[in-house]
Structure 1
């Protein structure tokens, strides 16, 4: 099994453009879809390349590249909404009736929304930080403020400050990682998506929209998530602090929570072995 970028990458054409993805573990019958987060230079491969080999031992794995992050074809609309619709288009195109899902940060929000709106398509759900409202911590968090500063006026120093806020152990932020993220963040589609989500003007518009909306936020609907759900969190997450887990832990009927010590926002990277073992047990149960 060639679990390199070139060895696993695929693409499929849908009615709204090409969706690119990575595939491994095709001999397994249980399907696992991995959904990435947001931020400068992010994509599905960079989020999960270190975990793909492990999960492909037991599951037919797909890492989906969301529209607007410089890999799949962009589509119009808010990135969280277009990401969700792209997952359904992807599943339909490959005749995947239902699947377990792992979602990192924004990918977790996408997966929760899918479990609410399409409960028959999501069998089990694993989130990695990012879901729920801030209960005790400030909003936006330190990490999101650093992300906003980078989005408003990108430079390498701001990128480094944001990357350091993502982890507990700053040794993870290597020169190679900085260069990889800096180069990818220059992609025009990725810049447009970042501006839509995290720019100062966009943030103010979103806050006003939420204040004036006559419908509840997604997290207030999490009691509708019927599938077994594992919430994973880094105890030292400065992007989505662990107090955010309190609401989904209480509202999702079949939720369990695992918090990893000495770990920031990238649980699947920084607590790799412990995360994989915990998720494997949950998926096999």
Structure 2
């Protein structure tokens, strides 16, 4: 039997020193593409993070979903320093390689800080901004984020993270899903890259991913903030701060929702994004 292809592997494209695995899907030939930037959980990839959103939005829009360096199947050099600047350079090189001058961008958690970085450093490359459970402003490291970044591979540890930290409704997390994410976290080189990104003490990485207040206040893009009220990883206070700092921002809070808004509330989340992006 021919093995089934792994849906997490899309196509590879040269982006500077990094060879980026990405998904370029959907149509939307007349509109601005939608760039999806994933979070920083163990075993995460663009497809794992965004698959449900891609299924709903690709019929209407061109979707770009890259694995950032150190995550998923993107290939990095043997010697590579993970930093906000390195990830930003990868994102810009990715858009350049695809000849995409401007995108709407959705950033999830860690990806929210990168979406902010793109809007701050290359404002002309962004039309509208969606930040979901976003990093990017100062906050005290939560026990949940410390557990995520401090993950040591085991199926039990992955199950605990997914059921008790990421999701509000643990029944959404099947044993199969836990096993898949655990296996993704132990692919050759995956844990080595992950542990190199956010070693203890981890408050310094929260601070490193935060942008200066003045830079965020200077953002002129129309911005949608989305957060789960019961998020144990990134506190709701981060989105309240962003709401205060970004002049043209609005905030939608989902009750009975953890850090996985796009999974726990896929349909309303996608409807929210579509309405926001389609506004004149």
TM over 0.5: yes
Aligned to 1:231: 225
Contact 1:24 / 1:60 at 8 angstroms: preserved in 2?
A: yes
Measured after TM superposition, the shift of residue 185 of structure 1 is 0.8
Deviation at 1:259, TM superposition (A): 0.5
Q: Deviations over 1:166-186 (max 9, x none)?
A: 011001221111111111111
* Distance (whole Å) between structure 2 residues aligned to residue 132 and residue 10 of structure 1: 29
Q: Work out whether 1:62 is the aligned partner of 2:72.
A: no
Equivalent of residue 251 in structure 2, options 251, 257, 268: 257
The alpha-carbon distance between structure 1 residues 268 and 204, as it changes in their structure 2 partners (threshold 3 A), is: closer
Displacement of 1:132 in angstroms is 4.4
Asked if structure 2 preserves the Cα contact closer than 8 Å seen for 1:131 and 1:219, the reply is: no
User: 2:278, 2:251 → 1: CA distance?
Assistant: 17
Q: In the TM superposition, what are the counterparts of 1:80-229 in structure 2 within 5 Å?
A: 80-133=84-137, 139-150=140-151, 153-164=152-163, 165-201=165-201, 203=202, 206=205, 217-220=210-213, 221-229=215-223
Correspondence for 1:71 = 73
Match of 1:53 among 52, 55, 60: 55
How far does the alpha carbon of each residue in 1:42-62 deviate from its partner, in whole angstroms, 9 at most, with x for none?
010001111112212221111
**RMSD (Å) for aligned C-alpha atoms:** 2.3
Query: How far apart are the structure 2 equivalents of 1:238 and 1:190?
Result: 24
In structure 2, relative to structure 1, the CA distance for the partners of 1:25 and 1:238 (3 Å cut) is same
Shift of 1:36: 0.6
| Deviation sequence 1:226-250 (CA, Å, 0-9, x none) | 1111010011100012122111101
Equivalent residue, structure 2, for 1:26? 27
SS of residue matched to 1:89: helix
Q: Distance in 2 between matches of 1:176 and 1:263?
A: 22
Is residue 8–residue 23 contact of structure 1 (8 Å, CA) maintained in 2?
A: no
**Equivalent position of 1:274 in the other structure:** 268
| TM-score between the two structures when normalised by the length of structure 2 | 0.88
Q: Where in structure 1 are there 5+ consecutive unaligned residues?
A: 211-215
Select between 268-277 and 55-64 the one with higher mean Cα deviation: 55-64
Q: How many residues align?
A: 270
CA deviation map 1:150-181 (0-9, x unaligned): 2xx43332222211210110012211111111
TM-score by length of 1: 0.87
Partner secondary structure for residue 124 of structure 2: coil
| Maintained 8 Å contact 1:80/1:106 | no
SS at match of 2:232: coil
| Aligned 8 A contact 2:53 2:262 in 1 | yes
> Structure 2 regions of 5+ residues with no counterpart?
none
| Aligned counterparts of 2:115 and 2:204: Cα–Cα separation in 1 | 24
Residue 79 of structure 1 and its aligned partner are, at CA, apart by 4.4
Q: Residues 119-164 of structure 1: CA distance to partner in whole angstroms, max 9, x if unpaired?
A: 00010111110234466xxx221211222442xx433322222112
